[in-house]
A and B are shown apart, each in its own frame.
Chain A
Amino acid sequence: MKIVVCVKQVPDTKGGVVFNPDGTLNRAAMLAIMNPDDKAGLEAALELKDKYGAEVTVLTMGLPKADEVLREAMAMGADKGVLVTDRVLGGADTWATSQTIAGAIRNLDYDLIITGRQAIDGDTAQVGPEVAEHLHLPMVTYVQKIVDYDEAAKTITVERQFDDRYMVVKAKLPCVLTALGELAEPRYMTPGGIFDAFDKEVTVWGRKDLKDVLDSDLGKVGSPTQIAKASDKVRKGAGEVKKDLSPAEAVDYIVEKLQAKHII
């Protein structure tokens, strides 16, 4: 089985957030980690590899320094890394990003594509499903567990999470899964894996290597979303504590406050 895992390098929430003047994130200036949902997806792929044998390719789009997440993925056990990086691809929203990733995946052999549900920097949860659409593949989102892989029938059975229940879905391969963080607990890298990861070559692709995509669908130009304003988290003022009210008085008090602010 050949598995492609899409990962994203995201700002580490432990570090500060730095914006470019146009409101996009200044990724080069921030501490970065592998997006947690993607990492769970990678772990699921590595578990499939351990169990059934598979070749796992990790793919990322980003700045040249996004090479770090590929090395990390390889140090955990992924076989190959592909970095898609090009100035003309910068400033991409989810549409242009998914076009880029689909354009890269068209060059690869795959039975299964796993992406994270969403990235902690944008939280859109759009790129995975969009990639599936561009590649005309079936897709299961919000995967919380991989139940079974049938090599002969070429199907995968997974649990798809809902608020209070889950659905068991069997999908024909090739397909796309979007992984929840709880899909799998990521393993640690191994020291030897780290050494090997830096001995291996990472494939670097630019615009010219993307297959069947239009320039008008890529980068900032190809992005329908424009950021109007971005700001750091605004601190709210201190709340008000009222201890001496009965429940009925408390309700009246809150309603009055909400009306004053024209919320209700």
Chain B
Amino acid sequence: MDFTLDKKHLMARQLFKDFAEKEVKPLAQEIDETERFPRETVEKMAKAGFMGISIPKEYGGQGCDPLTYVMCIEELAKQCGTTAVIVSAHSSLCADPILMFGTEEQKQKYLPDLAAGRKLGAFGLTEPGAGTDAQGVQTKAVKDEDGNWVINGSKIFITNGKEADVYVIFAQTGTKLDKKGRTQKTFTAFILEKGMPGFTFGTKENKMGIRASATYELVFNDVKVSDAQRLGAEGKGFPIAMHTLDGGRIGIAAQALGLAEGALDRTVAYVKERKQFGRALAQFQNTQFQLADMATKCQAAQYLVYAAANAKATKDRYSVEAAMAKLCAAEVAMEVTTKAVQLHGGYGYMKEYDVERMMRDAKITEIYEGTSEVQRMVISGALLK
């Protein structure tokens, strides 16, 4: 077992770090304050290939492994949680399921544009009555006599919402009896495009963190799509959603990890400068012990996140690895950013200091793409089956 990165991964990390420091960091505070979607950064990332890191070369992607993708999200999140989640939702939640479950035609149609960042991707599962409980999904797709589908309903809290061009969404298409004889809804996944008649956007959410991420409601009012837009088999939407979220959780885990590491970096710099009682904060044992705990937790989270990325590269199923990575990294992010604010004292509560934003950004990593409680259900479910 080897915990060291090889030369190409080290060079890729350096690339992501340089990019994030030069292009992402200068905007982070402003876009948080104004809730402005950083379109220009997306364009720069597209040019540098960041929007298609793990898409194979045959579809115009970079053909890199999940570890490289994870390091990209991590380095972006060290500077800006919003920018990281834009890439994560686009890649893990839209491009990935098309790559995994799409027909060759669908892959040819959508992946090159997504890989090149000419189009931005999004994913719609959550609804007002369906968060952790996916059975609560009310959006329905009904097949008409021509074999086309008519979709009605709405999705909420959709990352990249109005800014995206391609959407992977889930709708109820039937029912079945489960093993215990209970009626369960069955779902089917569809690929929608912005501009399809009847597909509109509702309100933009005003959020605590990742404020520049365009979080919108998607509204489907008799949206007619051909059967060619169906992603995967009819009725197989739920396994597709779960599989997609396994990958997505690794992306969010990387975002959480980056936020924690970014907050730690800033705190280390701050405690060396800030003086109280005639000494730098760094000279107090409380500071030293807090930093040691923060760094140890970041390192542990990093190992779990990288291990999950490797599991994605080598195994068909990696639900437990992804859940552990997300559970750990998200909780570390919340803890480390909170401690970072505390060590910054009053200044840490001020918006001029990045740790204030990072603490707000960290909270969502414990909630979206499966709450920490859901991750515990996944992990314990595998233990007790």
**B48 in contact (CB, < 8 A):** yes
Q: Interface 1/0s, chain A 176-193, versus B by CB < 8 A?
A: 000000000001111111
CB proximity to A under 8 Å, residues B29-66? 47-50, 53, 57, 61-64
Q: Which of A68, A187, A189 is the most central at the interface, judged by chain B CB atoms within 10 Å of its CB?
A: A189
A146 → chain B closest CB, angstroms = 20
**A72 in contact (CB, < 8 A):** yes
Interchain CB contact under 8 A, B12 and A187: no
CB proximity to B under 8 Å, residues A146-195? 187-195
CB-nearest residue of chain B relative to A190? B49
CA distance in complex: A189, B15 (Å): 7
Please classify how large the interface on chain A is, using the bins under 10, 10 to 19, 20 to 34, 35 or more: 10 to 19
**A253 in contact (CB, < 8 A):** no
CB-defined contacts of A187 to chain B, threshold 8 Å:
47-48
CA distance in complex: A191, B48 (Å): 8
Known: A191-B49, A191-B50, A193-B49. A71 touches B11 (CB 8 A): yes
CB-defined contacts of A66 to chain B, threshold 8 Å:
none
Known: A187-B47, A188-B48. A194 touches B19 (CB 8 A): no
**A102 in contact (CB, < 8 A):** no
CA distance in complex: A218, B206 (Å): 67
Interchain CB contact under 8 A, A192 and B62: yes
**B68 in contact (CB, < 8 A):** yes
Interchain CB contact under 8 A, A198 and B64: no
- For B, the interface residue count at a CB cutoff of 8 angstroms equals 19
Interchain CB contact under 8 A, A194 and B8: yes
| A-B contact number at CB 8 A | 52
Interchain CB contact under 8 A, B61 and A198: no
Q: Is the interface of A mostly helix, strand, loop or mixed?
A: helix
**B7 in contact (CB, < 8 A):** yes
Q: Interface 1/0s, chain A 102-144, versus B by CB < 8 A?
A: 0000000000000000000000000000000000000000000
CB-defined contacts of B47 to chain A, threshold 8 Å:
187-188
**A5 in contact (CB, < 8 A):** no
CB-nearest residue of chain A relative to B68? A191
**A75 in contact (CB, < 8 A):** yes
A256 → chain B closest CB, angstroms = 41
Q: Is the interface of B mostly helix, strand, loop or mixed?
A: helix
CB-nearest residue of chain A relative to B9? A194
Interchain CB contact under 8 A, A192 and B64: yes
CB-nearest residue of chain A relative to B54? A191
**B158 in contact (CB, < 8 A):** no
Interchain CB contact under 8 A, A192 and B7: no
Interchain CB contact under 8 A, A192 and B63: yes
B88 → chain A closest CB, angstroms = 15
Interchain CB contact under 8 A, A192 and B11: no
Interchain CB contact under 8 A, A191 and B7: no
Interchain CB contact under 8 A, B8 and A198: yes
Beyond A190-B62, A193-B49, A197-B8, 16 additional contacts (C-beta under 8 Å) are: A71-B7, A72-B11, A188-B19, A189-B48, A191-B15, A191-B49, A191-B62, A191-B72, A192-B53, A192-B61, A194-B8, A194-B12, A194-B15, A195-B8, A197-B11, A198-B8
Q: Which residues of A contact B (CB under 8 A)?
A: 68, 71-72, 75, 187-195, 197-198
The 3 closest A-B CB pairs, nearest first, are: A192-B62, A190-B49, A188-B48
